[in-house]
Amino acid sequence: MTKAPIDLQDLRRRIYVKAKAEPAWRFWGLYVHVCKMDTLCEAYETARCLALQGADIIFFPTMGTAAVGDDDIGVQALRVRAAENHVYLVVAHRGQGAMVISPRGKILARAAGADGLAIADIDPRGGREGGDSSNRQKDMRARLFRERNPEAFKLLTDPKPAVLDKVPIDITREEAGRIFARMLTVGEEDLKKTTALAAAGKTKEAIAAFEKLRKDYRGSWIDRVAQERLAALRTHQKKQPAVKPVPKEGLASLYPGDKGIESDPRVIFVENFEEESLDALAKRWETVSGRATMALSKDRPANSTGKQSLLIDRTKGAAGQLYRRLKNSKGGWGYDKVFARYYVKFDKDCGEIHHFGTTLGGNHPATPGRRSARGCGRTGRRPSGRGSSRSAPRGRGTITPTGARCAAARRAAKRGATPSSATRSSRSKWASGSASSR
């Protein structure tokens, strides 16, 4: 057994030089096998044919195995293959290592892993001694192959043996070949595209695509995966409640007091400020600034099903802000069209302010922190370049009276709502506002 590492090209060169110089080192018998059912069945017969032609070593690069069954039947079948033909078997199993097996079925060297390299010192002409009390031979191939009875095994060459009447098959060899070729070339890509439809929430399209995959790749691993995912999609589809169409009053009108609005599949994000602390609340947002000006308040709209709101107390400088990106169904950031709605109430002593409210940004690429917007669009219009749309009361100047208090609560960003123009809120009264970006 050679344990020292050796370059593959150097190993090939040394074997070639040795075989060219010494006839005793000359050997042949290359058998290439891929994991296709008909060639898997022919593995037994092909190995015997190579042995009958005088092969000392059979090289067996494979994508699959030598048998279909439980436990380590594949390895045991390889050992039997070597022993029944009295040849060395050199196996390279894609992704699962390599091994060298002696003519007596012993594993001489074995390496695990995708890049495993099994190396063994062998005598290509030796290792075949054996026999019993009446028949001892240096090379078991002599009498084994001489005393065969081919006439007794003519059935092996019958293309339509009787067993096929017992176990009929509904696929032709030609169709099986086409499926196999397509599976190896574009099959995985077709499966990825169909899986992406399911991930994007396009359930009907995904179901139709998976059903097509089952027809196009029937009997293959793609067929089995498609069957499993179809079952999961249909189970999920049955559990989903029917989605009501959006009325002209807007999506929120389907949920009085916003109760249950977060479960609507058209809703992207809901913030109801129902956390126990500001720290817990902040975990739902990517950027939180001016936290010192924030506090949770029990004040809330009369018809709200919530229990509290967020109070922002600003005396000078920048007030508190919450910012986060919106992840879409494809796993990326942002939407082409988004509507936002919120509730707000100003303290009775609040004077004029410059701006506040819900801002829908349009940075590209999306950033985890808010950036100043250029090319801002007006509410309901798509910004040009990097921009945003904001819904807020209109004020004059930048007046920030001492003791001004603003409590903003129950924000919901959602698709399908009806946009409105900028909202004017009265002091000491809860009002709702909305914004859109499209």
Which residue numbers in the chain have pLDDT < 50? Answer: 1-2, 27-40, 372-380, 383, 385, 392-425
Verify that 117 and 44 share a domain, yes or no. Answer: yes
Verify that 227 and 257 share a domain, yes or no. Answer: no
Name the pairing type of β-strands 57-62 and 135-137: unpaired
**Cα–Cα dist 285/410, whole Å:** 14
Domain boundary among 163, 194, 228: 163
Verify that 218 and 362 share a domain, yes or no. Answer: no
The pLDDT value given to residue 15: 63
| Domain-embedded: residue 168 | no
CATH code of the domain containing 428: 2.60.120
Closest by Cα among 309, 340, 293 to 430: 309
State pLDDT tens for residues 30-60. 444 444 444 445 567 778 888 888 888 888 8
Verify that 126 and 103 share a domain, yes or no. Answer: yes
Number of domains in the chain: 3
| Domain-embedded: residue 310 | yes
Domain boundary among 163, 195, 218: 163
- Does the model's pTM come out above 0.75? no
Verify that 287 and 380 share a domain, yes or no. Answer: yes
Give the pair of three-digit tokens for residue 235.
């189970």
| Domain-embedded: residue 272 | yes
Verify that 83 and 140 share a domain, yes or no. Answer: yes
For residue 224, give its domain range.
173-239
State pLDDT tens for residues 63-118. 666 667 777 887 888 899 899 889 999 988 777 788 999 999 999 999 887 777 88
Residue 80's CB is within 10 A of a number of other CB atoms, namely 17
Verify that 426 and 292 share a domain, yes or no. Answer: yes
Three-class HEC string of the chain: CCCCCCCHHHHHHHHHHHHHHCHHHCCCCECCCCCCHHHHHHHHHHHHHHHHCCCCEEEEEECCCCCCCCCCHHHHHHHHHHHHHCCEEEEEECCCEEEEECCCCCEEEEECCCCCCCCCCCCCCCCCCEEECCEEECCCHHHHHHCCCHHHHHHHHCCCCCHHHHCCCCCCHHHHHHHHHHHHHHHHHHHHHHHHHHHCCCHHHHHHHHHHHHHHCCCCHHHHHHHHHHHHHHHHHHHCCCCCCCCCCCHHHHCHHHCCHHHCCCEEEEECCCCCCHHHHHCCCCEEECHHHEEEECCCCCCCCCCCEEEEECCCCCCCEEECCCECCCCCECCCCEEEEEEEEECCCCCCCCCCCEEEECCCCCCCCCCCCCCCCCCCCCCCCCCEEEECCCCCCCCCCCCCEEEEEEEEEECCCCCCCCCCCCECCCEEEEEEEC
Verify that 16 and 79 share a domain, yes or no. Answer: yes
Verify that 428 and 301 share a domain, yes or no. Answer: yes
Hey, which residues does 97 pair with through a beta bridge?
93
**Cα–Cα dist 9/228, whole Å:** 44
**Dihedral, 289, 295, 296, 300 alpha carbons, nearest 10:** -100
Domain boundary among 99, 130, 163: 163
| Domain-embedded: residue 246 | no
| Domain-embedded: residue 2 | no
At residue 38, φ and ψ (nearest 5 deg) are -70, -35
Verify that 313 and 258 share a domain, yes or no. Answer: yes
| Domain-embedded: residue 1 | no
Q: Are 67 and 77 in contact (CB under 8 A)?
A: yes
State pLDDT tens for residues 290-304. 888 889 999 888 888
Verify that 188 and 296 share a domain, yes or no. Answer: no
Verify that 263 and 410 share a domain, yes or no. Answer: yes
| Domain-embedded: residue 416 | yes
The pLDDT value given to residue 8: 54
| Domain-embedded: residue 367 | yes
Q: Which residues are within 8 A (CB) of 103 and not within 5 positions of it... i.e. 6 or more apart?
A: 82, 83, 85, 86, 87, 88, 127, 128, 140
Hey, which residues does 269 pair with through a beta bridge?
413
